[in-house]
Structure 1
Amino acid sequence: MIKRILVPTDFSEQARNAFEVAIAIARRTGAGIKVMHAVEVPYGSGFSATGDLTMQTDSMEHVYVLQLLEKTKADMARLVNSVDHAGVDVVQQVDVNRPINQIKRTIKEDGVDLVVMGSKGSSGLDEFLIGSNTEKVVRTASCPVLTVKQRNPEFTVNEIVLASDFKREIRHAVEHFKTFQALFGARMHLVYINTPGAFESSSNISQKLEHTAQKYGLQNYTINVYNDVMEEDGILHFAEDIRADLIMMATHGRTGLSHLLSGSIAEDLVNHTNIPVLTFSLK
Protein backbone atom coordinates (compact mmCIF):
# COMPACT_ATOMS: atom_id res chain seq x y z
CA MET A 1 0.00 0.00 0.00
CA ILE A 2 1.47 3.36 -1.04
CA LYS A 3 0.11 6.16 1.14
CA ARG A 4 3.03 8.55 1.55
CA ILE A 5 5.46 9.56 -1.22
CA LEU A 6 8.61 11.63 -0.67
CA VAL A 7 10.10 13.64 -3.55
CA PRO A 8 13.53 15.12 -2.72
CA THR A 9 14.25 17.94 -5.14
CA ASP A 10 17.06 20.22 -6.30
CA PHE A 11 14.66 22.06 -8.67
CA SER A 12 16.39 20.59 -11.74
CA GLU A 13 14.57 19.32 -14.82
CA GLN A 14 15.06 15.72 -13.70
CA ALA A 15 13.70 16.49 -10.24
CA ARG A 16 10.62 18.05 -11.84
CA ASN A 17 10.23 14.89 -13.94
CA ALA A 18 10.29 12.87 -10.71
CA PHE A 19 7.60 15.10 -9.22
CA GLU A 20 5.37 14.49 -12.26
CA VAL A 21 5.84 10.73 -11.90
CA ALA A 22 5.02 10.95 -8.20
CA ILE A 23 1.81 12.81 -9.08
CA ALA A 24 0.84 10.05 -11.53
CA ILE A 25 1.44 7.38 -8.88
CA ALA A 26 -0.47 9.37 -6.25
CA ARG A 27 -3.47 9.62 -8.56
CA ARG A 28 -3.52 5.82 -8.80
CA THR A 29 -3.04 5.21 -5.09
CA GLY A 30 -4.57 8.22 -3.34
CA ALA A 31 -1.21 8.86 -1.68
CA GLY A 32 -0.08 12.21 -0.33
CA ILE A 33 3.22 13.74 -1.51
CA LYS A 34 5.87 15.66 0.40
CA VAL A 35 8.27 17.63 -1.81
CA MET A 36 11.44 18.27 0.18
CA HIS A 37 14.64 20.25 -0.19
CA ALA A 38 17.44 20.37 2.39
CA VAL A 39 19.61 23.49 2.54
CA GLU A 40 23.12 22.58 3.65
CA VAL A 41 24.70 25.47 5.56
CA PRO A 42 28.25 25.77 6.93
CA TYR A 43 28.90 23.91 10.16
CA GLY A 44 28.47 26.14 13.17
CA SER A 45 26.22 28.62 11.39
CA GLY A 46 23.79 28.35 14.28
CA PHE A 47 20.71 27.34 12.32
CA SER A 48 18.44 24.53 13.42
CA ALA A 49 16.81 22.01 11.11
CA THR A 50 13.78 24.31 10.90
CA GLY A 51 15.87 27.30 9.86
CA ASP A 52 15.71 29.08 13.23
CA LEU A 53 18.72 30.83 14.71
CA THR A 54 19.86 28.82 17.74
CA MET A 55 23.11 30.52 18.77
CA GLN A 56 25.16 33.66 18.26
CA THR A 57 26.51 33.79 14.72
CA ASP A 58 28.03 36.25 12.29
CA SER A 59 25.35 38.72 11.17
CA MET A 60 26.35 38.60 7.50
CA GLU A 61 26.26 34.81 7.53
CA HIS A 62 22.90 34.98 9.28
CA VAL A 63 21.50 37.26 6.59
CA TYR A 64 22.93 35.07 3.82
CA VAL A 65 21.34 31.89 5.19
CA LEU A 66 17.98 33.59 5.73
CA GLN A 67 18.04 34.89 2.15
CA LEU A 68 18.98 31.41 0.91
CA LEU A 69 16.05 29.90 2.79
CA GLU A 70 13.64 32.48 1.38
CA LYS A 71 14.90 31.87 -2.15
CA THR A 72 14.60 28.10 -1.66
CA LYS A 73 11.02 28.41 -0.42
CA ALA A 74 10.19 30.54 -3.48
CA ASP A 75 11.81 27.95 -5.77
CA MET A 76 9.78 25.23 -4.03
CA ALA A 77 6.53 27.12 -4.53
CA ARG A 78 7.33 27.64 -8.23
CA LEU A 79 8.08 23.94 -8.68
CA VAL A 80 4.86 22.79 -7.03
CA ASN A 81 2.78 25.31 -8.95
CA SER A 82 4.41 24.37 -12.28
CA VAL A 83 2.91 20.86 -12.24
CA ASP A 84 -0.80 20.06 -12.31
CA HIS A 85 -1.46 18.26 -9.04
CA ALA A 86 -5.21 18.81 -8.78
CA GLY A 87 -6.75 16.24 -6.46
CA VAL A 88 -3.40 15.27 -4.92
CA ASP A 89 -2.36 16.38 -1.43
CA VAL A 90 1.07 18.02 -1.83
CA VAL A 91 3.08 19.35 1.12
CA GLN A 92 6.22 21.49 0.77
CA GLN A 93 9.16 21.16 3.15
CA VAL A 94 12.41 23.15 3.31
CA ASP A 95 14.90 22.20 6.04
CA VAL A 96 18.43 23.03 7.06
CA ASN A 97 20.32 19.76 7.08
CA ARG A 98 22.55 17.49 5.02
CA PRO A 99 20.35 16.16 2.19
CA ILE A 100 20.90 12.46 2.88
CA ASN A 101 20.31 12.93 6.62
CA GLN A 102 17.07 14.82 6.03
CA ILE A 103 15.81 12.25 3.52
CA LYS A 104 16.42 9.38 5.96
CA ARG A 105 14.89 11.35 8.82
CA THR A 106 11.77 12.20 6.82
CA ILE A 107 11.33 8.60 5.67
CA LYS A 108 11.37 7.46 9.29
CA GLU A 109 9.29 10.22 10.86
CA ASP A 110 6.64 10.35 8.13
CA GLY A 111 6.42 6.61 7.49
CA VAL A 112 7.23 7.13 3.81
CA ASP A 113 6.22 4.25 1.52
CA LEU A 114 8.05 5.38 -1.64
CA VAL A 115 10.80 7.83 -2.54
CA VAL A 116 10.74 9.23 -6.09
CA MET A 117 13.99 10.93 -7.12
CA GLY A 118 15.37 12.57 -10.22
CA SER A 119 18.76 11.49 -11.56
CA LYS A 120 20.90 13.04 -14.27
CA GLY A 121 23.23 10.06 -14.47
CA SER A 122 26.96 9.86 -13.92
CA SER A 123 28.07 13.16 -15.45
CA GLY A 124 26.74 15.94 -13.21
CA LEU A 125 28.35 15.06 -9.89
CA ASP A 126 28.06 18.60 -8.57
CA GLU A 127 24.26 18.48 -8.34
CA PHE A 128 22.23 17.57 -5.27
CA LEU A 129 20.48 14.54 -6.69
CA ILE A 130 23.49 13.11 -8.46
CA GLY A 131 26.18 10.64 -7.61
CA SER A 132 26.73 10.11 -3.93
CA ASN A 133 23.34 11.39 -2.72
CA THR A 134 21.33 9.25 -5.11
CA GLU A 135 23.51 6.23 -4.43
CA LYS A 136 23.25 6.70 -0.66
CA VAL A 137 19.46 6.86 -0.83
CA VAL A 138 19.27 3.79 -3.09
CA ARG A 139 21.64 1.96 -0.77
CA THR A 140 20.20 2.93 2.62
CA ALA A 141 16.54 3.95 2.34
CA SER A 142 14.17 1.79 4.37
CA CYS A 143 11.49 1.99 1.66
CA PRO A 144 11.51 1.48 -2.13
CA VAL A 145 13.24 4.18 -4.19
CA LEU A 146 12.14 5.01 -7.74
CA THR A 147 14.70 6.94 -9.78
CA VAL A 148 13.58 8.87 -12.84
CA LYS A 149 15.50 10.67 -15.58
CA GLN A 150 13.20 11.48 -18.48
CA ARG A 151 9.85 13.20 -18.55
CA ASN A 152 6.96 10.75 -18.23
CA PRO A 153 3.94 12.56 -16.76
CA GLU A 154 1.47 9.74 -17.43
CA PHE A 155 3.86 7.05 -16.10
CA THR A 156 2.13 3.93 -17.34
CA VAL A 157 3.95 0.64 -16.70
CA ASN A 158 3.22 -2.42 -18.83
CA GLU A 159 6.50 -4.37 -18.90
CA ILE A 160 8.69 -4.77 -15.79
CA VAL A 161 12.13 -6.37 -15.54
CA LEU A 162 12.92 -8.04 -12.20
CA ALA A 163 16.67 -8.67 -12.24
CA SER A 164 18.44 -10.73 -9.57
CA ASP A 165 20.82 -13.63 -9.05
CA PHE A 166 17.86 -15.36 -7.32
CA LYS A 167 20.29 -16.96 -4.85
CA ARG A 168 19.37 -14.91 -1.79
CA GLU A 169 16.27 -14.22 0.22
CA ILE A 170 14.51 -11.30 -1.45
CA ARG A 171 11.01 -11.79 -0.03
CA HIS A 172 10.76 -8.31 1.48
CA ALA A 173 11.76 -6.68 -1.79
CA VAL A 174 9.41 -8.88 -3.84
CA GLU A 175 6.42 -7.94 -1.68
CA HIS A 176 7.05 -4.27 -2.53
CA PHE A 177 7.60 -5.14 -6.19
CA LYS A 178 4.35 -7.12 -6.35
CA THR A 179 2.47 -4.09 -5.01
CA PHE A 180 3.92 -1.96 -7.78
CA GLN A 181 3.14 -4.60 -10.42
CA ALA A 182 -0.48 -4.88 -9.25
CA LEU A 183 -0.85 -1.10 -9.24
CA PHE A 184 -0.31 -1.03 -13.01
CA GLY A 185 -1.48 -4.52 -13.95
CA ALA A 186 1.94 -5.01 -15.55
CA ARG A 187 3.75 -8.15 -16.70
CA MET A 188 6.90 -9.05 -14.76
CA HIS A 189 9.89 -10.55 -16.56
CA LEU A 190 12.23 -12.42 -14.21
CA VAL A 191 15.70 -12.39 -15.72
CA TYR A 192 19.01 -13.99 -14.77
CA ILE A 193 22.06 -12.67 -16.59
CA ASN A 194 24.33 -15.57 -17.51
CA THR A 195 27.93 -14.34 -17.67
CA PRO A 196 31.15 -16.19 -18.62
CA GLY A 197 32.46 -15.84 -15.07
CA ALA A 198 29.36 -17.35 -13.44
CA PHE A 199 27.90 -19.53 -16.18
CA GLU A 200 25.13 -22.02 -15.47
CA SER A 201 23.00 -24.13 -17.77
CA SER A 202 19.81 -22.46 -18.94
CA SER A 203 17.69 -25.39 -17.73
CA ASN A 204 19.05 -25.15 -14.17
CA ILE A 205 18.57 -21.41 -14.04
CA SER A 206 15.05 -21.62 -15.47
CA GLN A 207 14.13 -24.12 -12.75
CA LYS A 208 15.49 -21.75 -10.08
CA LEU A 209 13.53 -18.82 -11.50
CA GLU A 210 10.33 -20.85 -11.67
CA HIS A 211 10.87 -21.97 -8.07
CA THR A 212 11.32 -18.31 -7.07
CA ALA A 213 8.12 -17.31 -8.84
CA GLN A 214 6.16 -20.05 -7.07
CA LYS A 215 7.79 -19.33 -3.72
CA TYR A 216 6.79 -15.66 -3.77
CA GLY A 217 3.39 -16.20 -5.37
CA LEU A 218 4.13 -14.23 -8.52
CA GLN A 219 1.51 -13.90 -11.23
CA ASN A 220 1.63 -12.65 -14.82
CA TYR A 221 5.34 -13.29 -15.25
CA THR A 222 7.87 -14.73 -17.69
CA ILE A 223 11.13 -16.64 -17.06
CA ASN A 224 14.24 -15.47 -18.90
CA VAL A 225 17.92 -16.40 -19.10
CA TYR A 226 19.97 -13.77 -20.93
CA ASN A 227 23.62 -14.16 -21.93
CA ASP A 228 25.97 -11.20 -21.73
CA VAL A 229 29.51 -10.29 -20.72
CA MET A 230 28.51 -8.33 -17.58
CA GLU A 231 25.40 -8.33 -15.37
CA GLU A 232 24.71 -4.62 -15.78
CA ASP A 233 25.02 -4.76 -19.59
CA GLY A 234 22.78 -7.81 -19.70
CA ILE A 235 20.04 -6.15 -17.67
CA LEU A 236 20.14 -3.05 -19.85
CA HIS A 237 20.15 -5.01 -23.11
CA PHE A 238 17.33 -7.29 -21.98
CA ALA A 239 15.26 -4.33 -20.79
CA GLU A 240 15.77 -2.60 -24.13
CA ASP A 241 14.90 -5.78 -26.06
CA ILE A 242 11.51 -6.14 -24.36
CA ARG A 243 10.93 -2.36 -24.26
CA ALA A 244 10.63 -2.37 -20.49
CA ASP A 245 8.93 0.51 -18.72
CA LEU A 246 10.58 -0.23 -15.37
CA ILE A 247 13.52 -2.17 -13.92
CA MET A 248 13.23 -3.59 -10.39
CA MET A 249 16.18 -4.67 -8.24
CA ALA A 250 16.88 -5.55 -4.63
CA THR A 251 20.15 -4.34 -3.16
CA HIS A 252 22.17 -5.22 -0.07
CA GLY A 253 24.27 -2.09 -0.45
CA ARG A 254 27.99 -2.14 -1.21
CA THR A 255 29.22 -5.47 0.07
CA GLY A 256 32.00 -6.07 -2.45
CA LEU A 257 30.18 -9.01 -4.02
CA SER A 258 30.10 -9.36 -7.79
CA HIS A 259 26.47 -10.46 -7.90
CA LEU A 260 23.43 -8.34 -8.63
CA LEU A 261 22.61 -7.87 -4.97
CA SER A 262 25.95 -6.24 -4.24
CA GLY A 263 24.53 -2.76 -4.58
CA SER A 264 26.96 -1.45 -7.18
CA ILE A 265 24.94 -2.96 -10.03
CA ALA A 266 21.74 -1.24 -8.90
CA GLU A 267 23.55 2.08 -8.48
CA ASP A 268 25.24 1.76 -11.87
CA LEU A 269 21.88 1.07 -13.49
CA VAL A 270 20.43 4.19 -11.90
CA ASN A 271 23.26 6.18 -13.48
CA HIS A 272 23.36 4.54 -16.89
CA THR A 273 19.81 3.83 -18.04
CA ASN A 274 16.99 6.16 -19.00
CA ILE A 275 14.48 3.51 -17.90
CA PRO A 276 13.05 4.21 -14.42
CA VAL A 277 14.60 1.94 -11.76
CA LEU A 278 12.81 0.79 -8.60
CA THR A 279 15.19 -0.44 -5.90
CA PHE A 280 14.71 -1.77 -2.38
CA SER A 281 17.52 -2.16 0.12
CA LEU A 282 17.52 -5.43 2.05
CA LYS A 283 19.78 -4.02 4.77
Structure 2
Amino acid sequence: MEDCPFHAILHPTDFSEDNEAAFVHAVRLAAAGGSALHVLHVEEEPGLLAAEDRFPKARELFQRWNLIEAGVEPGAVEKRLGAKIVNASVESQDVASAIGAYSEAHGCDLLVLATHAPGWLERLLGGSLAEESARLSHAPALFLRSGAHGFVDPTNGKIKLRRVLMPVSAEVAPMHAWGFASPFVRMLEPTAEFHMLHVGDTLPTYGNLLPHVELRRGPVVETILEVAAEIGPDLIVMATEGHKDLIDAITGSTTEQVLREAPCPVLTAPSRPRRAAV
Protein backbone atom coordinates (compact mmCIF):
# COMPACT_ATOMS: atom_id res chain seq x y z
CA MET A 1 0.00 0.00 0.00
CA GLU A 2 1.19 3.51 -0.79
CA ASP A 3 2.30 5.68 2.10
CA CYS A 4 -0.31 8.27 3.04
CA PRO A 5 0.67 11.68 1.59
CA PHE A 6 -1.26 13.60 4.25
CA HIS A 7 -1.28 13.49 8.04
CA ALA A 8 -3.84 16.09 9.15
CA ILE A 9 -7.07 16.90 7.29
CA LEU A 10 -9.00 20.14 7.74
CA HIS A 11 -12.72 20.14 6.98
CA PRO A 12 -14.53 23.46 7.49
CA THR A 13 -18.27 23.08 8.13
CA ASP A 14 -21.25 25.39 8.30
CA PHE A 15 -23.48 22.53 9.57
CA SER A 16 -25.64 22.62 6.43
CA GLU A 17 -26.85 19.66 4.36
CA ASP A 18 -24.70 20.92 1.47
CA ASN A 19 -21.67 20.07 3.60
CA GLU A 20 -22.54 16.40 4.15
CA ALA A 21 -20.79 14.91 1.10
CA ALA A 22 -17.56 16.72 1.93
CA PHE A 23 -17.74 15.50 5.54
CA VAL A 24 -18.25 11.90 4.37
CA HIS A 25 -15.16 12.14 2.17
CA ALA A 26 -13.11 13.77 4.96
CA VAL A 27 -14.01 11.00 7.42
CA ARG A 28 -13.29 8.24 4.90
CA LEU A 29 -9.92 9.76 4.01
CA ALA A 30 -9.02 10.04 7.70
CA ALA A 31 -9.83 6.36 8.18
CA ALA A 32 -7.91 5.33 5.04
CA GLY A 33 -4.83 7.31 6.00
CA GLY A 34 -4.95 6.92 9.77
CA SER A 35 -4.92 10.71 9.89
CA ALA A 36 -6.16 13.41 12.22
CA LEU A 37 -9.35 15.13 11.06
CA HIS A 38 -9.99 18.70 12.21
CA VAL A 39 -13.63 19.70 11.75
CA LEU A 40 -13.71 23.50 11.95
CA HIS A 41 -16.63 25.90 12.29
CA VAL A 42 -15.96 29.61 11.90
CA GLU A 43 -18.51 31.77 13.71
CA GLU A 44 -18.84 35.32 12.40
CA GLU A 45 -20.95 36.51 15.33
CA PRO A 46 -18.98 37.15 18.56
CA GLY A 47 -19.82 35.03 21.57
CA LEU A 48 -21.58 32.27 19.60
CA LEU A 49 -19.00 29.50 19.42
CA ALA A 50 -20.59 26.24 18.32
CA ALA A 51 -21.46 23.62 20.93
CA GLU A 52 -19.93 20.16 20.56
CA ASP A 53 -23.29 18.53 19.80
CA ARG A 54 -23.73 20.64 16.63
CA PHE A 55 -20.77 19.02 14.90
CA PRO A 56 -21.37 16.15 12.46
CA LYS A 57 -20.72 12.73 13.95
CA ALA A 58 -17.79 10.79 12.52
CA ARG A 59 -18.46 7.90 14.91
CA GLU A 60 -21.85 7.27 13.29
CA LEU A 61 -20.17 6.90 9.91
CA PHE A 62 -17.50 4.57 11.30
CA GLN A 63 -20.27 2.38 12.75
CA ARG A 64 -22.35 2.47 9.55
CA TRP A 65 -19.29 1.36 7.57
CA ASN A 66 -18.56 -1.47 10.07
CA LEU A 67 -15.18 -0.01 10.95
CA ILE A 68 -16.07 0.02 14.67
CA GLU A 69 -18.78 -1.47 16.87
CA ALA A 70 -21.34 0.54 18.82
CA GLY A 71 -20.15 1.63 22.26
CA VAL A 72 -16.43 1.69 21.47
CA GLU A 73 -14.64 4.35 23.51
CA PRO A 74 -13.18 7.36 21.62
CA GLY A 75 -9.64 6.38 22.58
CA ALA A 76 -10.18 2.88 21.22
CA VAL A 77 -11.47 4.31 17.94
CA GLU A 78 -8.27 6.31 17.50
CA LYS A 79 -6.11 3.32 18.38
CA ARG A 80 -7.97 0.99 16.02
CA LEU A 81 -8.31 3.30 13.00
CA GLY A 82 -5.50 5.76 13.63
CA ALA A 83 -8.02 8.53 12.96
CA LYS A 84 -8.30 11.26 15.59
CA ILE A 85 -11.33 13.57 15.28
CA VAL A 86 -10.93 17.14 16.56
CA ASN A 87 -13.93 19.50 16.60
CA ALA A 88 -12.99 23.17 16.77
CA SER A 89 -14.87 26.47 16.71
CA VAL A 90 -13.29 29.90 16.23
CA GLU A 91 -14.62 33.45 15.90
CA SER A 92 -13.76 35.57 12.86
CA GLN A 93 -15.50 37.88 10.43
CA ASP A 94 -13.02 36.78 7.75
CA VAL A 95 -13.94 33.13 7.31
CA ALA A 96 -11.39 32.29 4.61
CA SER A 97 -8.50 33.83 6.55
CA ALA A 98 -9.57 31.97 9.70
CA ILE A 99 -9.56 28.67 7.83
CA GLY A 100 -6.15 29.42 6.34
CA ALA A 101 -4.72 30.41 9.72
CA TYR A 102 -6.09 27.29 11.42
CA SER A 103 -4.65 25.11 8.67
CA GLU A 104 -1.19 26.66 9.07
CA ALA A 105 -1.28 26.56 12.89
CA HIS A 106 -2.23 22.87 13.05
CA GLY A 107 -0.11 21.64 10.16
CA CYS A 108 -3.09 20.52 8.07
CA ASP A 109 -1.78 19.19 4.78
CA LEU A 110 -5.12 18.42 3.09
CA LEU A 111 -8.35 20.40 3.02
CA VAL A 112 -11.72 18.82 2.21
CA LEU A 113 -14.17 21.50 1.17
CA ALA A 114 -17.77 21.79 0.07
CA THR A 115 -18.27 24.37 -2.64
CA HIS A 116 -20.81 25.71 -5.10
CA ALA A 117 -20.67 27.67 -8.36
CA PRO A 118 -20.97 31.38 -7.54
CA GLY A 119 -22.03 34.00 -10.07
CA TRP A 120 -19.57 36.52 -11.46
CA LEU A 121 -20.73 39.36 -9.22
CA GLU A 122 -20.25 37.28 -6.09
CA ARG A 123 -16.78 36.33 -7.34
CA LEU A 124 -15.88 39.96 -7.99
CA LEU A 125 -17.05 41.10 -4.55
CA GLY A 126 -15.87 38.20 -2.47
CA GLY A 127 -15.53 34.96 -4.36
CA SER A 128 -16.03 31.41 -3.20
CA LEU A 129 -15.06 30.88 0.42
CA ALA A 130 -13.86 27.36 -0.36
CA GLU A 131 -11.58 28.48 -3.20
CA GLU A 132 -10.19 31.42 -1.22
CA SER A 133 -9.60 29.20 1.83
CA ALA A 134 -7.60 26.75 -0.26
CA ARG A 135 -5.42 29.54 -1.67
CA LEU A 136 -4.70 30.95 1.79
CA SER A 137 -3.90 27.51 3.23
CA HIS A 138 -1.24 26.68 0.59
CA ALA A 139 -2.17 23.00 0.88
CA PRO A 140 -3.79 20.45 -1.43
CA ALA A 141 -7.58 20.64 -1.34
CA LEU A 142 -10.34 18.22 -2.29
CA PHE A 143 -13.45 20.07 -3.50
CA LEU A 144 -16.90 18.49 -3.40
CA ARG A 145 -19.19 20.57 -5.59
CA SER A 146 -22.91 20.63 -4.89
CA GLY A 147 -24.64 18.37 -7.41
CA ALA A 148 -21.52 16.45 -8.50
CA HIS A 149 -21.07 12.77 -7.62
CA GLY A 150 -18.38 11.77 -5.11
CA PHE A 151 -16.09 8.74 -4.93
CA VAL A 152 -17.14 7.60 -1.43
CA ASP A 153 -20.45 5.76 -0.97
CA PRO A 154 -21.97 7.26 2.21
CA THR A 155 -23.98 4.09 2.94
CA ASN A 156 -21.04 1.69 3.21
CA GLY A 157 -17.85 3.79 2.90
CA LYS A 158 -16.71 1.99 -0.25
CA ILE A 159 -14.42 3.95 -2.57
CA LYS A 160 -14.97 4.09 -6.31
CA LEU A 161 -11.88 5.60 -7.88
CA ARG A 162 -11.34 3.81 -11.17
CA ARG A 163 -10.32 6.68 -13.43
CA VAL A 164 -8.56 9.98 -12.69
CA LEU A 165 -8.20 12.87 -15.13
CA MET A 166 -5.16 15.11 -14.64
CA PRO A 167 -4.74 18.02 -17.07
CA VAL A 168 -1.21 19.45 -17.24
CA SER A 169 0.03 22.67 -18.80
CA ALA A 170 3.33 24.24 -19.79
CA GLU A 171 2.69 27.26 -17.56
CA VAL A 172 2.08 25.44 -14.25
CA ALA A 173 4.72 22.88 -13.29
CA PRO A 174 2.88 19.61 -12.52
CA MET A 175 5.55 17.52 -10.81
CA HIS A 176 4.85 18.61 -7.21
CA ALA A 177 1.11 18.11 -7.76
CA TRP A 178 1.79 14.71 -9.35
CA GLY A 179 3.97 13.80 -6.36
CA PHE A 180 0.94 14.31 -4.11
CA ALA A 181 -1.84 13.05 -6.38
CA SER A 182 -0.22 9.74 -7.33
CA PRO A 183 0.19 8.36 -3.77
CA PHE A 184 -3.16 9.93 -2.77
CA VAL A 185 -4.97 7.93 -5.46
CA ARG A 186 -2.89 4.75 -5.13
CA MET A 187 -3.51 4.65 -1.38
CA LEU A 188 -7.27 4.64 -2.01
CA GLU A 189 -7.35 2.49 -5.17
CA PRO A 190 -4.09 0.87 -6.34
CA THR A 191 -5.53 -0.07 -9.74
CA ALA A 192 -6.89 3.39 -10.61
CA GLU A 193 -6.07 4.61 -14.12
CA PHE A 194 -4.60 8.09 -14.64
CA HIS A 195 -5.60 9.89 -17.84
CA MET A 196 -3.09 12.70 -18.40
CA LEU A 197 -4.14 15.54 -20.72
CA HIS A 198 -2.44 18.57 -22.24
CA VAL A 199 -4.43 21.14 -24.20
CA GLY A 200 -2.17 22.88 -26.70
CA ASP A 201 -0.18 22.47 -29.90
CA THR A 202 2.79 20.50 -28.56
CA LEU A 203 3.51 18.41 -25.48
CA PRO A 204 5.41 20.16 -22.65
CA THR A 205 9.05 19.19 -22.17
CA TYR A 206 8.34 17.33 -18.91
CA GLY A 207 5.99 14.92 -20.69
CA ASN A 208 8.46 12.02 -20.39
CA LEU A 209 8.43 12.36 -16.59
CA LEU A 210 4.70 11.56 -16.42
CA PRO A 211 2.51 8.71 -17.65
CA HIS A 212 1.39 9.02 -21.28
CA VAL A 213 -0.03 12.51 -21.88
CA GLU A 214 -2.82 12.91 -24.44
CA LEU A 215 -2.56 16.03 -26.62
CA ARG A 216 -5.74 17.91 -27.52
CA ARG A 217 -6.26 21.26 -29.21
CA GLY A 218 -8.97 23.75 -28.35
CA PRO A 219 -10.10 26.14 -25.60
CA VAL A 220 -8.49 24.91 -22.39
CA VAL A 221 -11.41 24.78 -19.96
CA GLU A 222 -13.93 23.56 -22.53
CA THR A 223 -11.55 20.84 -23.74
CA ILE A 224 -10.86 19.58 -20.22
CA LEU A 225 -14.58 19.33 -19.57
CA GLU A 226 -15.13 17.60 -22.94
CA VAL A 227 -12.59 14.93 -22.06
CA ALA A 228 -14.18 14.56 -18.61
CA ALA A 229 -17.54 13.96 -20.29
CA GLU A 230 -15.96 11.35 -22.57
CA ILE A 231 -14.06 9.28 -20.00
CA GLY A 232 -16.24 9.76 -16.88
CA PRO A 233 -13.53 10.30 -14.24
CA ASP A 234 -14.16 9.77 -10.55
CA LEU A 235 -11.65 12.53 -9.72
CA ILE A 236 -10.00 15.44 -11.53
CA VAL A 237 -6.55 16.58 -10.37
CA MET A 238 -5.38 20.13 -11.09
CA ALA A 239 -1.97 21.68 -10.38
CA THR A 240 -2.55 25.30 -9.39
CA GLU A 241 -0.68 28.57 -8.85
CA GLY A 242 -3.63 30.75 -7.82
CA HIS A 243 -4.67 33.99 -9.51
CA LYS A 244 -2.19 35.62 -11.89
CA ASP A 245 -4.01 38.83 -12.84
CA LEU A 246 -7.25 40.81 -12.60
CA ILE A 247 -8.98 38.72 -15.26
CA ASP A 248 -8.25 35.58 -13.23
CA ALA A 249 -9.60 37.30 -10.13
CA ILE A 250 -12.93 37.98 -11.85
CA THR A 251 -13.41 34.91 -14.04
CA GLY A 252 -11.40 32.49 -11.91
CA SER A 253 -8.25 30.57 -12.71
CA THR A 254 -8.44 27.59 -15.06
CA THR A 255 -8.73 25.33 -12.02
CA GLU A 256 -11.64 27.29 -10.58
CA GLN A 257 -13.46 27.40 -13.93
CA VAL A 258 -13.12 23.61 -14.23
CA LEU A 259 -14.27 23.20 -10.63
CA ARG A 260 -17.54 25.03 -11.30
CA GLU A 261 -18.54 22.55 -14.01
CA ALA A 262 -16.72 19.36 -13.03
CA PRO A 263 -18.93 16.23 -12.82
CA CYS A 264 -16.84 14.80 -9.97
CA PRO A 265 -14.63 15.92 -7.06
CA VAL A 266 -11.59 18.05 -7.92
CA LEU A 267 -8.27 17.68 -6.11
CA THR A 268 -6.08 20.77 -6.36
CA ALA A 269 -2.41 20.68 -5.47
CA PRO A 270 -0.02 23.66 -5.40
CA SER A 271 2.75 23.61 -7.98
CA ARG A 272 5.30 24.26 -5.21
CA PRO A 273 5.74 22.87 -1.69
CA ARG A 274 4.35 24.87 1.21
CA ARG A 275 6.93 27.25 2.65
CA ALA A 276 8.19 26.23 6.06
CA ALA A 277 7.21 28.47 8.96
CA VAL A 278 9.92 30.82 10.25
TM over 0.5: yes
Offset, 1:278: 0.7
5+ residue gaps, structure 1: 42-64, 195-199
Offset, 1:81: 5.6
**CA spacing shift, 1:263–1:251, aligned 2, 3 Å:** farther
Given that 1:33 and 1:89 are in contact with CA atoms closer than 8 Å, whether structure 2 keeps it comes out as yes
Work out the CA distance in 2 between the residues paired with 1:257 and 1:158.
Answer: 37
Residue 69 (1) aligns with residue 65 (2): no
1:49-64 paired onto structure 2 within 5 Å: none
Given that 1:116 and 1:147 are in contact with CA atoms closer than 8 Å, whether structure 2 keeps it comes out as yes
Offset, 1:271: 1.9
Identity %: 24
Work out the CA distance in 2 between the residues paired with 1:142 and 1:111.
Answer: 11
Equivalent residue for 1:29? 33
How many residues are paired up? 234
Given that 1:122 and 1:272 are in contact with CA atoms closer than 8 Å, whether structure 2 keeps it comes out as no
Q: TM-score, normalised by structure 1?
A: 0.72
Offset, 1:106: 1.6
Amino acid in the other structure paired with 2:239: A
1:129-278 paired onto structure 2 within 5 Å: 131-149=127-145, 150=149, 152=152, 153=154, 154-183=158-187, 184-185=189-190, 186-194=192-200, 200=201, 204-205=202-203, 208=204, 212-215=206-209, 218=210, 221-228=211-218, 230-256=219-245, 264-278=253-267
Work out the CA distance in 2 between the residues paired with 1:28 and 1:264.
Answer: 31
Deviation sequence 1:82-102 (CA, Å, 0-9, x none): 851354421101111222122
Deviation sequence 1:138-168 (CA, Å, 0-9, x none): 3332210000134543343121111121344
**CA spacing shift, 1:36–1:168, aligned 2, 3 Å:** closer
Given that 2:97 and 2:133 are in contact with CA atoms closer than 8 Å, whether structure 1 keeps it comes out as no
1:118-137 paired onto structure 2 within 5 Å: 118-122=114-118, 131-137=127-133
Residue of structure 2 aligned with 1:84, choices 61, 72, 76 = 61
Asked which structure has the greater CA Rg, the reply is 1
5+ residue gaps, structure 2: 63-67, 69-80, 273-278
SS in 2 for 1:84: helix
Aligned-residue CA RMSD (Å): 2.9
